[in-house]
């Protein structure tokens, strides 16, 4: 037997209001599941992507899922454009190739991508909804500082690397490329832009970008490529913002180890700029082709006494050059050998070929051993890696909850 439901006028009004509220309420966001087939396309078409690399068996991954989803819901309301910000996840057990590609060694790991490029710094904040939401809001803030008077450019902080653009309009492909590059490299350089009438004196040949390097007397460098070509603009800017030889500190050590590349390190005293300049010159001369396969670093001998002790050195022995492969540390024969053409390059090639590791286990190759020297060399095997200890502990995420 069917029953009719009779509603009063006031009840009907309330019912219709509830329907209206329900219809206007944003739907719950869907976390995008990334796999080997869609990951490149989805990430490259997203301005900002926060990716959760997880494993189902991991208790901390399970705890993060609802937090990650709720943060995604809030961000979706604030940035409704589906290509503006996405929250995505990768099942690292099912797609181990992706985990290996991005050097995922712990679960869960949250990594930030911009236009398909993985940022150096992963998310290390609290695993809470508010913290993750605030992190994304910070990522969406404009990294380019407006120049209101060209006099401001004369007084920029020369202790930092500055990229300065001069544009006719923000509504242009040139400016959009500049802003896109700034989004990726804003942690490494200060980005500034003069737009419109203010920029006219610097735009006598059209929109342009300059690099103002460190040091009061260092001359500006002008970008001569196409500003509409993102790849060229990014490559030029990265070369200026990210030095070939970087300093390793206890603050950035974890971040550098997570890049997964072996270290070629110059240990030098802080005041010893001469040895650093010589090391930088030889790295640029001999090893520029190795960029992307090894990290070139310099470290303060006083701050890194412990790694020096691992290779039986003290600050009194500095400058010292060594490779840390994250398995073992290998010492370059002597700092003065930098002057020998190709010596540093051969040292790195011996790492890649496995010679350094092979000689660690089996002693020097027969062709490299002088008569009567093999026993002495076998007794001097390289110690275990020291810098791998700067990598995050597998228990680090406990503090995130």
pLDDT tens by residue, 289-336: 898 889 999 999 999 999 999 899 999 999 999 999 888 899 999 999
Question: Is 2 a member of any domain?
Answer: no
56 shares its domain with 111: yes
Specify whether 134 is located in the same domain as 157.
no
Compute φ and ψ for 83, nearest 5 degrees.
-95, 5
Beta partners for residue 320, in sequence order = 267
Digit-coded pLDDT (tens) for 164-187: 999 999 999 999 999 999 999 998
Residue 317 belongs to some domain of the structure: yes
Q: Examine the domain organization and report whether 307 and 345 are in the same domain.
A: yes
| pLDDT interval class at 390 (50, 70, 90) | low
Q: Are residues 198 and 67 in the same domain?
A: no
pLDDT number for residue 366: 65
User: Does residue 161 share a domain with residue 80?
Assistant: no
Looking at the structure, do residues 157 and 179 belong to the same domain, yes or no? yes
Domain boundary among 100, 125, 140: 140
pLDDT exceeds cutoff 70 at 380: no
Q: Tell me: do 230 and 264 sit in the same domain.
A: no
DSSP state for residue 31 in the 8-state scheme: P
- Are 216 and 277 within one domain? no
In a domain, 104, yes or no: yes
Q: Last residue of a domain, which of 241, 270, 290? A: 241
Residue 397 belongs to some domain of the structure: no
- Among residues 219, 241, 263, the one where a domain terminates is 241
Lowest mean pLDDT among 23-27, 133-137, 251-255, 297-301: 23-27
Query: With 80 as the cut, is the pLDDT of residue 381 above it?
Result: no
Is there a single domain that holds both residue 102 and residue 156? no
Rounded to the nearest integer, the mean pLDDT of the chain is 85
CA distance 380 to 374: 10
Domain presence at residue 231: yes
249 belongs to a structural domain: yes
Does residue 21 form part of some domain?
A: no
Retrieve residue 15's tokens. 């019912």
Of the two residues 218 and 369, the one the predictor is more confident about is 218
Residue 345 and residue 268 share a domain: yes
Residues 272 and 376 in one domain: yes
| Structural domain boundaries, residue 318 | 245-390
Q: What is the spatial distance between Cα 164 and Cα 303, in angstroms, rounded to a whole number?
A: 35
pLDDT digit string (tens) for 250-270? Answer: 888 888 887 778 999 999 999
**Residue 373 pLDDT:** 47
Q: Say how many domains are in the chain.
A: 3
The answer, yes or no, to whether residue 216 has pLDDT greater than 80, is: yes
- pLDDT at position 132: 96
CATH number of the domain to which 76 belongs: 3.40.30.10
Q: Is residue 235 part of a domain?
A: yes
pTM for this prediction: 0.69
Answer for the pair 330, 380: CB distance below 8 angstroms, yes or no. no
Residue 57 reports pLDDT greater than 90? yes
pLDDT above 50 for 134: yes
For residue 207, give the DSSP letter. Answer: S
- DSSP-derived secondary structure for 89-112: EEETTTTHHHHHHTT--SSSEEEE
Region 238-254 average pLDDT: 89
Burial 17-39 (b: 16+ CB within 10 A, else e): eeeeeeeeeeeebebbebeeeeb
Greatest mean pLDDT among 117-131, 264-278, 362-376 lies in: 264-278
| DSSP-derived pairing of the beta strands 109-114 and 221-222 | unpaired
Query: Is the predicted pLDDT of residue 36 greater than 90, yes or no?
Result: yes
Whether residues 293 and 156 share a domain: the answer is no
């Amino acid at each position: 037997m069917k029953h009719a439901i009779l509603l009063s006028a006031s009840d009907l009004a309330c019912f219709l209001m509830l329907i209206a509220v329900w219809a206007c309420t944003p739907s719950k966001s869907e976390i995008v599941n990334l796999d080997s087939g869609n990951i490149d396309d989805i990430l490259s078409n997203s301005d900002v992507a926060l990716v959760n690399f997880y494993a189902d068996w991991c208790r901390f991954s399970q705890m993060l899922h609802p937090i990650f989803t709720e943060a995604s819901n809030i961000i979706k309301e604030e940035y409704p454009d589906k290509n503006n910000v996405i929250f995505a996840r990768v099942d690292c057990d099912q797609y181990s190739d992706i985990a290996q590609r991005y050097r995922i060694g712990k679960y869960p790991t949250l990594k930030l991508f911009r236009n398909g490029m993985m940022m150096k710094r992963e998310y290390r904040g609290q695993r809470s909804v508010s913290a993750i939401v605030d992190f994304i809001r910070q990522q969406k803030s404009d990294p380019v500082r407006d120049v209101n008077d060209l006099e401001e450019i004369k007084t920029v902080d020369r202790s930092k690397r500055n990229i300065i653009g001069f544009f006719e309009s923000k509504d242009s492909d040139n400016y959009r490329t500049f802003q896109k590059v700034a989004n990726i490299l804003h942690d490494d350089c200060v980005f500034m832009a003069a737009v419109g009438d203010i920029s006219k004196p610097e735009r006598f040949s059209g929109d342009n970008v300059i690099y103002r390097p460190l040091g009061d007397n260092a001359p500006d460098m002008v970008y001569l490529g196409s500003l509409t070509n993102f790849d060229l603009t990014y490559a030029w800017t990265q070369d200026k913002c990210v030095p070939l030889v970087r300093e390793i500190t206890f603050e950035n050590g974890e971040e550098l180890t997570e890049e997964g590349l072996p270290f070629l390190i110059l240990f030098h005293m802080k005041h010893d700029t001469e040895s650093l300049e010589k090391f930088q010159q030889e790295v640029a001369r001999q090893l520029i082709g190795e960029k992307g396969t090894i990290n070139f670093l310099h470290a303060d001998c006083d701050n890194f006494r412990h790694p020096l002790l691992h290779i039986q050195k003290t600050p009194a022995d500095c400058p010292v050059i060594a490779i840390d492969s994250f398995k073992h540390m290998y010492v370059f024969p002597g700092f003065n050998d930098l002057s020998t053409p190709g010596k540093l390059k051969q040292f790195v090639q011996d790492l890649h070929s496995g010679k350094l590791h092979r000689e660690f286990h089996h002693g020097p190759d027969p062709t490299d051993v002088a008569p009567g020297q093999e026993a002495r060399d076998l007794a001097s095997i390289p110690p275990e890696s020291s810098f791998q200890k700067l990598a995050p502990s597998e228990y680090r995420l406990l503090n995130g909850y």
